[in-house]
Chain A
Amino acid sequence: MSRRTRVAVVGAGPAGAYAAAQLRASRARPDVDVFERLPTPWGLLRGGVAPDHQEIKALADTFEAEVFGRGCRFFGGVEVGTDVHHADLMRHYHAVVYAVGARSDKTLGIENEHLPGSLPATDFVGWFNGHPDRRDLDPLLDVRRAVIIGNGNVAADVARILTRSVDELARTDIADHALAALRESRIEEVVVLGRRGPAQAAFTSAELRELGHMDGVELRVAPEEAELDLVSTEWLDEEGTFTARRNVKLLREFAAAAPQAGARARIVLRFLRSPVALHGASRVESIEIARNVLSRDEAGTIRARTLDGETETIECGLVLRSVGYRAVPLPGVPFDERNYVLPNDRGRVVDGDTRAVVPGVYAVGWIKRGPTGILGTNKRDAEETVARLLEDIDTLPDPPEAGDLPLPDHVSADGWRAIDTTETSAGEALDRPRVKLTTVDELVDAARQPA
């Protein structure tokens, strides 16, 4: 009963943070070590949540208190799969919880998709949020129109950052390199394409409303774009969510609004449109889009089908695809190649073929359930995984090695606090929440400063 159990959590994003916090708060109170490939913790809370949604970043204080404040150790800048391997972890820990998220993006599979000027929206998000891997992205902003493919909250975030005034952005923790580039940006119009109709828009209604209430930015929805087809009208009546009904109502209001004189920039929402091809000689010059119609399949899901024939060409120099994240396999751990997750039973990782439990290996967050849900979804997800681990905890064999895993240089929780202090102090002078350090070297240097 009294033996000390050691758990490694791989990935310090929201799912890993919730899992680590819950493990430490449990009666079993195992030792918890959190491994993270970046020198900084909290994953998409730092690198995904848009800088103009600063309120949400307060969740970091809760993570700080409940993860590091409860004695979890942090090993930042240590990549599992590169610096240390799954087998190493299994030799030193009773259990390993993978919380590595989904670091790649889905592609469209269209002609010229990889022309310069065409990027995954998630790379662009990493760029403006100071993710060290995206610092040198250098998006082409010397153009008047950008097109975003997909209309979820990532698309909304990107549309706002491309159009919001630089003065407003300068009061956030947006990366300095992004602020400098956006200052020079010539983008005047951002077109957001939705594959399905207004009732199926993936924005939350809060994000949609925000697009229509930005200073100096006109949100344009053509009246015919806000109209619902028969399939959607029926669906909305029968099983539409509160969000879908609010979105439709908001879109009708936006469509009915008079054009806004003197707007600095414009966001245009289009629906029932899919990209067919990108065109351009050496960089994106235009996008060709087709019209879709909706129908319901046997399962009741509303699907878009592209109509053959007429297409429309929109001139643009920047195309950001925002059609979903995709996880990448981890060496030495089973992977479900069809669903891009670790095959698992309520958080216990299982063999992909036999479904036999792989003892001591767990998954949480996007690598467990796929890239769905919002921050708080990870709390329930972590509870499920942590409950399985705690059920198993007495049966997990002692690992062969009792001591600490030999690790390369890394950033500890104190090192992260030193980074945090450096960034927030730099921000104070400028009336910003923080000034982010955006290279691994800068971050590691800051971590070495005495607190």
Chain B
Amino acid sequence: MAYVIAGSCVKDDVCVEVCPADCIHPTRGAPDFETAEQLYIDPETCIDCDACVEACPVDAIFAPNEVPAKWQHFAEVNADFFAERL
């Protein structure tokens, strides 16, 4: 299980700065950064540390067991982003 970024992400990318595992993408300068509608957490590399949750100014990031019902599908959206990005 990994942390999940939900649809309320505004791309204030402070989470990227605090993530010790570099698992939040796309990052500044990546070709898909500007077109991305939000940032995503790579479930393969997330270490469940909570740093991003603390940092997010709009509380868009959730621990796996705390994702609100309306954002449940975002676990799949986060994973799909990385699956399709390869």
A residues contacting B by CB (< 8 A) are 53, 55-56, 58-59, 61-62, 204-207, 209-210, 241-243, 245-246, 373-377, 379-380
Chain B interface main SS type: loop
Answer whether A379 and B13 are a contact pair too, CB < 8 Å, given A53-B8, A58-B57, A206-B7.
Answer: yes
Q: Pick the contact of A205 from B9, B11, B28, B37 — CB < 8 Å?
A: B37
Q: Given the complex, which residues of B lie within 8 Å of A242, measured CB to CB?
A: 32, 35-36, 80-81, 84-85
A–B Cβ pairs within 8 angstroms, 23 of them: A53-B8, A55-B8, A55-B59, A56-B8, A56-B58, A58-B59, A59-B10, A59-B12, A59-B57, A62-B57, A241-B32, A241-B35, A241-B36, A242-B84, A243-B35, A243-B37, A246-B77, A246-B80, A374-B37, A375-B10, A376-B10, A376-B13, A379-B13
Answer whether A376 and B11 are a contact pair too, CB < 8 Å, given A59-B57, A59-B58.
Answer: yes
CA distance A241 to B7 in the complex (A): 17
CA distance A206 to B10 in the complex (A): 12
A289 CB to nearest B CB, Å:
28
B8 touches A375 (CB 8 A): no
Residue of B nearest to A203 (CB): B37
Residue of B nearest to A62 (CB): B57
> CB-CB contacts of B38-75 with A at 8 A, as 1s and 0s?
10000000000000000001111000000000000100
Q: Given the complex, which residues of B lie within 8 Å of A58, measured CB to CB?
A: 57-59
Q: Given the complex, which residues of A lie within 8 Å of B34, measured CB to CB?
A: 373
Q: Given the complex, which residues of B lie within 8 Å of A379, measured CB to CB?
A: 11-13
* Most B C-beta atoms less than 10 A away, residue of A53, A242, A246, A377: A242
Closest A-B pairs by Cβ, 5 of them: A376-B11, A206-B7, A204-B37, A375-B10, A62-B57
Inter-chain CB contacts under 8 Å: number: 63
CA distance A242 to B13 in the complex (A): 19
B residues contacting A by CB (< 8 A) are 7-13, 28, 32, 34-38, 57-60, 73, 77, 80-81, 84-85
Q: Pick the contact of A377 from B11, B59, B77, B81 — CB < 8 Å?
A: B11
Residue of B nearest to A213 (CB): B70
CA distance A227 to B13 in the complex (A): 35
CA distance A19 to B59 in the complex (A): 22
CA distance A294 to B10 in the complex (A): 31
CA distance A444 to B28 in the complex (A): 41
Q: Given the complex, which residues of B lie within 8 Å of A62, measured CB to CB?
A: 12, 57
B37 touches A206 (CB 8 A): yes
Residue of B nearest to A244 (CB): B35
Residue of A nearest to B81 (CB): A242
Q: Given the complex, which residues of B lie within 8 Å of A206, measured CB to CB?
A: 7, 37-38
B70 CB to nearest A CB, Å:
8
Residue of B nearest to A241 (CB): B35
Residue of B nearest to A65 (CB): B57
Q: Given the complex, which residues of B lie within 8 Å of A59, measured CB to CB?
A: 10, 12, 57-58
CA distance A373 to B80 in the complex (A): 23
B68 CB to nearest A CB, Å:
10
Q: Given the complex, which residues of A lie within 8 Å of B57, measured CB to CB?
A: 58-59, 61-62
Q: Given the complex, which residues of B lie within 8 Å of A207, measured CB to CB?
A: 7
CA distance A55 to B36 in the complex (A): 19
Q: Given the complex, which residues of A lie within 8 Å of B59, measured CB to CB?
A: 55, 58
Q: Given the complex, which residues of B lie within 8 Å of A61, measured CB to CB?
A: 57
A210 touches B58 (CB 8 A): no
Residue of A nearest to B74 (CB): A206
CA distance A395 to B28 in the complex (A): 30
* Most B C-beta atoms less than 10 A away, residue of A55, A56, A59: A55
B77 touches A55 (CB 8 A): no
CA distance A122 to B84 in the complex (A): 35
Q: Given the complex, which residues of B lie within 8 Å of A377, measured CB to CB?
A: 11
Q: Pick the contact of A55 from B60, B80, B84 — CB < 8 Å?
A: B60
Residue of A nearest to B56 (CB): A58
